[in-house]
Structure 1
Amino acid sequence: VLGFFATGNGTNDIKGNYGILDQRLAIAWIKANINAFGGDPDEITLFGQSAGAQSTALHYMTSEMQSFFKRAIIQSAPMTVPF
């Protein structure tokens, strides 16, 4: 909902990566509800291209997210992603 909202780097500014948190909630919703659409909750694949590749890589490298999907396709990942 808030995207990648931030107001600055000061002590009174709003910081956060709400876009990633929104994505995490969406992935959790898919995991919980994919059966209703004929999908398999144990066969979820994330895909991201360009900026989406960075998001996909962040989810892939976060241990809390490992139970939400089985595999990830990272197309045009940035050089900062260690492989």
Structure 2
Amino acid sequence: RQIAISFQEVKDEYYYENYDLFTDVEKVEREKKLQETLVQIKHRYGKNAILKGMNALDFATAKKRNTLIGGHNAY
């Protein structure tokens, strides 16, 4: 089976941002920079470079799931 996905007329999210009087613009910008940094770290060092604290528990599955491709071992 094959699935084809295409993107047309993709626009920067900058054009769709709306702020109101109660939005803290600096906080929104800080959060964007943080998320961008996290993506860059994961891209450079792998998916397991940054995980939530709960993923360090014994029963957590995030580290194992990051090594799977389509639910199968990636080895």
TM-score normalised according to structure 2 size: 0.29
- Structure with more of its chain in strand, by fraction: 1
Pick the structure with more helix per residue: 2
Higher relative contact order (CA 8 A, sep 6+): 1
Larger radius of gyration: 2
